[in-house]
Amino acid sequence: MKYKQYVLVCSGTACESSKSKDLIDALYHEVLAADLGADIQIVKTGCFGFCEKGPIVKVLPEETFYVQVKPDDAAEIVQEHLVKGRPVTRLLYDPQQSKAHAKLEDIDFYQKQVRIVLRNCGVIDPDSIDEYIARDGYVALEKVLFEMTPEGVIDELRKSGLRGRGGAGFPTWRKWEFTRQVASDEKYVMCNADEGDPGAYMDRSTLEGDPHSILEAMMIAGYTCGSCKGIIYIRAEYPLAIERLNRAISQAKEYGLMGEKILGTDFCFDIEIRLGAGAFVCGEETALIASTEGGRGMPIPRPPFPAVKGLWDKPTVINNVETYASIPVILMKGGDWYAKIGTETSKGTKVFALTGKIKNSGLIEVPMGTTLRDIIFGIGGGIKDGKKFKAVQTGGPSGGLIPEQYLDTPIDYENLGKLGSIVGSGGMIVMDEDDCVVDVTKFYLDFSVDESCGKCAPCRIGGKTLLTLLDRVSKGTGTDADIASMKQLSTAMQRASLCGLGQTTPNPVLSIIRHFEDELNAHIKDRHCPAGKCSALVRYEIDEEACIGCTVCARKCPVNCIAGERKQPHVIDQERCVKCGACLEACKFNAVIKS
Residues that bind other proteins (CB under 8 A): 13-14, 16-18, 51-52, 54, 195-201, 204-205, 236-239, 274-280, 291-297, 312, 353, 355-357, 361-363, 393, 396, 427, 429, 431, 435, 440, 443-444, 453, 558, 580
HEC string for 345-363: CCECEEEEEEEECECCCEE
HEC string for 280-303: HHHHCHHHHHHHHCCCCCCCCCCC
Cβ contact 531:487 at 8 Å: no
Task: Measure the CA–CA gap between 389 and 404, rounded to whole angstroms.
Answer: 7
CB of 285 to other proteins, least distance (A): 16
Judged by beta carbon, residue 266 or residue 385, the one nearer other proteins is: 385
CA dihedral 78→80→82→84, nearest 10 degrees, is 140
Judged by beta carbon, residue 224 or residue 355, the one nearer other proteins is: 355
Q: For 369, which DSSP code? A: T
Judged by beta carbon, residue 220 or residue 529, the one nearer other proteins is: 529
Judged by beta carbon, residue 87 or residue 276, the one nearer other proteins is: 276
Cβ contact 156:331 at 8 Å: yes
Helix ranges restricted to H, 232-284: 239-254
Q: What is the DSSP string of 56-79?
A: PEEEETTTEEE-S--GGGHHHIII
Q: For 305, which DSSP code? A: P
List the Cα angle 211/217/219 in 5-degree steps: 105
389-411 CB burial, b ≥16 within 10 A, e <16: bbbbbbbbbbbbbbbeebbebbb
Helix axes 480-496, 457-474, angle to 10 degrees: 160
Judged by beta carbon, residue 296 or residue 487, the one nearer other proteins is: 296
β-partners of residue 57 are 9, 66
Judged by beta carbon, residue 17 or residue 477, the one nearer other proteins is: 17
Give residues with Cβ within 8 angstroms of 414, minimum separation 6. Answer: 345, 346
Give residues with Cβ within 8 angstroms of 472, minimum separation 6. Answer: 478, 482
CB of 355 to other proteins, least distance (A): 4
Cβ contact 209:120 at 8 Å: yes
Amino acid at 105: E
Cβ contact 286:300 at 8 Å: yes
Q: What is the DSSP string of 459-494?
A: HHHHHHHHHHHHHHHHTT---HHHHHHHHHHHHHHH
CB of 359 to other proteins, least distance (A): 11
| 3-class DSSP assignment, residue 518 | helix
Cβ contact 425:166 at 8 Å: yes
CB of 67 to other proteins, least distance (A): 12
Judged by beta carbon, residue 264 or residue 294, the one nearer other proteins is: 294
User: What is the Rg, in whole angstroms, of the alpha carbon atoms belonging to the chain?
Assistant: 27
Judged by beta carbon, residue 31 or residue 429, the one nearer other proteins is: 429
CB of 275 to other proteins, least distance (A): 5
CB of 238 to other proteins, least distance (A): 7
CB of 147 to other proteins, least distance (A): 36
CB of 419 to other proteins, least distance (A): 18
CB of 401 to other proteins, least distance (A): 11
Judged by beta carbon, residue 154 or residue 242, the one nearer other proteins is: 242
CB of 427 to other proteins, least distance (A): 7
Judged by beta carbon, residue 16 or residue 177, the one nearer other proteins is: 16
CB of 424 to other proteins, least distance (A): 12
Judged by beta carbon, residue 138 or residue 444, the one nearer other proteins is: 444
User: What are the Cα distances from residue 249, in Å, to 17, 127, 211, 358?
Assistant: 25, 10, 9, 37
CB of 104 to other proteins, least distance (A): 17
Judged by beta carbon, residue 298 or residue 572, the one nearer other proteins is: 298
